[in-house]
Structure 1
Amino acid sequence: MLESIVRQQEDEIKSLQEERNSLQSRLSEINHGFSRCPCGWTEYLVKCYWISSSTKTWHEAKEDCKAKEAELVVINRKCEQNLLSTLDTAEDQVWIGLQHQSAYFSSGWSWVDGSPLRFHNWDVQQPDDEYTLHRRQAECVYADRERLDKWHNAPCTESHRWVCQKELK
């Protein structure tokens, strides 16, 4: 008698699990149909974000985003900064859309969209002013995923993964 009840409950559980899986699948299909971002992109607030799986220099990454009708990510708020950690689980560096072109370090940081640097998430002893002043070359910025997405300046010729953003359609 007890075995019969247990078997019945196990069958009921299995049936409910199959129904749940079916409903989750249907919900996923429905949500995909409502996504305003291209496949492989992540929607957040009013933008779509994409993270690369390969590495390129900052300028190559910028061109790749442009080819995708996007731009390197611009981070103006803490919530946008926090988004970086949700895009991918890999702990490496990703180019962001911040660049310094002045030989004089007191000015010159600008985003790819032309907006000024209002928010920053520099790591300790960053930006590295001495390095940039002595090298007198363009510097670009990456977010270090291993260091809670803290920012570091580096030569634009280094190769890193990158993050593109574009407006929702």
Structure 2
Amino acid sequence: MDVMEMENDVYFNKSLTMEELITKDVQRRKPPSRCLTVSLGLLCAVLLAGNIGQIIYYEIAVHHLSAEASPSPRLDSLQGGDERKSCEARLSNATGETKKLQQRLDSLTNERDRLQTGFHKIKNERDQMRTSYNASRRESDRLRTSYDDVQRKLKGLQSDYDKVTARNNRLRIEYDGLQKEKSKQRSSLQQLQRNHSSLRRDMDQLGRNYDEMSSRITRLQSRYDSLRRDNEQLKANHSGLLTDEHQLRTLLDAVRRSRMCDTGWTKFNTGCYFVSTEKKNWTSSREECIANGADLVVVDSRDEQVFINRLVNSTQNAWIGLNDFYQEGKWMWVDGSAITTRYWQDDQPNSYGGEQDCGELVPSGTSSGIGEWNDDGCFAVQIWICEK
């Protein structure tokens, strides 16, 4: 129990020191009371242990005296009676002392309970003070925030005041300038009044000029009508020229169909086609076609695609006139025309590695197939197809 009271005392003092919620007078008074309680408790324990030892010693002595034989019963009786009286006196004293110690122990227990009650009371007061402290701190933070807001508003008002002051100064300067300008305007007004008469005379002259311009506009309108009639006649002539051009193209196609192709070339519709036996890269292949008055083949229709597919061995790919040199992903024919029909393989063109800018024919391997297109590196060496 005493050890527990000491531990409680240590915890109590630590809690009070950490929170700093009690006064210095309480801190000065409490430690001596605790020390006194512990000292008295220890003293009671020592005295109680001494009394118990005396009682045990008395019992041992009485039994020892009773067991021993004495040759002189009268003398032994006298000595035993004195010893018994002495022991009874000492036992009576010890019993009285024990009662006093018990009373003291009860008093100390009551003191401990009272101090424990005081401890709980102070602990509650500490909790209340902590709650009050937290509330005060929150209030302080709120006031600090409000203060900062007021400071910002004050700075904003000061800034607005400075702006208004500066604007007022500018307005005053402008007012002075307007006063000077007013004087100048009065002088200008007088000059304008003098000029008004001159302007009226000029207006009369402009009226006469307007009449002359109206006559010129009438003449220009007549000329415009004549030019419009000439333009309509030119449009009619242009339509006739387009009809003549169509007739000439039809005649030219007929001539091309009737002409014979050179040896080694194969005829299809109005064109002649050549499939090489040697292999070169795309650029060299086109140079070979141009040297023979042709160019790499340009596919304009499905029938033409089927035709060139039949020309090529199914085991060889062949260069055609497709490329995207000028803009990545924008495929054009060598004659500058855009693609109108598309026969790309699945997921093609993909410009694998960023270096596939030339188109090739991938034959289907059957006479009824149409073949497919693929993009490949222009440096690859393979056969080619010319068209003229």
TM-score scaled by length of structure 1 = 0.69
What are the residue-to-residue correspondences of 1:116-127 with 2, within 5 Å?
A: 116-127=338-349
Distance 1:47 1:159 in 2: 26
2:334 alignment partner, one of 112, 130, 133: 112
1:81 alignment partner, one of 296, 305, 320: 305
Amino acid at match of 2:385: V
C-alpha RMSD over aligned residues: 1.9
Distance 2:302 2:364 in 1: 18
Higher helix fraction (1 or 2): 2
1:147-168, Cα deviation, whole Å (9 max, x unpaired): 65211001111111100000xx
Cα distance change of structure 1 residues 104 and 48 upon mapping to structure 2, 3 Å threshold: closer
1:7-63, Cα deviation, whole Å (9 max, x unpaired): xxxxxxxxxxxxxxxxxxxxxxxxxxx861001100100000000011110000000
Equivalent residue number for residue 322 of structure 2: 98
1:145 alignment partner, one of 363, 368, 387: 363
Offset at 1:104?
3.8
Greater relative contact order, per chain length (Cα 8 Å cut-off, separation 6+): 1
Q: Kindly name which structure, 1 or 2, has the bigger radius of gyration based on alpha carbons.
A: 2
Equivalent residue number for residue 59 of structure 1: 283
Maintained 8 Å contact 2:312/2:318:
no
Maintained 8 Å contact 1:102/1:138:
no
Offset at 1:146?
4.5
Distance 2:298 2:385 in 1: 9
Distance 1:145 1:138 in 2: 19
Equivalent residue number for residue 43 of structure 1: 267
What are the residue-to-residue correspondences of 1:23-34 with 2, within 5 Å?
A: none
Amino acid at match of 1:80: E
Maintained 8 Å contact 1:91/1:146:
no
Maintained 8 Å contact 1:101/1:138:
no
2:386 alignment partner, one of 156, 164, 167: 164
Offset at 1:121?
0.5
Amino acid at match of 1:52: S
Offset at 1:144?
1.0
Q: Which runs of 5+ in 2 are unaligned?
A: 1-257
Cα distance change of structure 1 residues 138 and 152 upon mapping to structure 2, 3 Å threshold: closer
Higher strand fraction (1 or 2): 1
Q: Which runs of 5+ in 1 are unaligned?
A: 1-33
TM-score scaled by length of structure 2 = 0.31
- Structure 1 segments, 4+ long, off by >4 Å, are none
Amino acid at match of 2:343: N
Distance 2:338 2:261 in 1: 27
Distance 1:47 1:84 in 2: 12
Alignment size in residue pairs = 127
Distance 2:376 2:337 in 1: 20
Cα distance change of structure 1 residues 104 and 52 upon mapping to structure 2, 3 Å threshold: closer
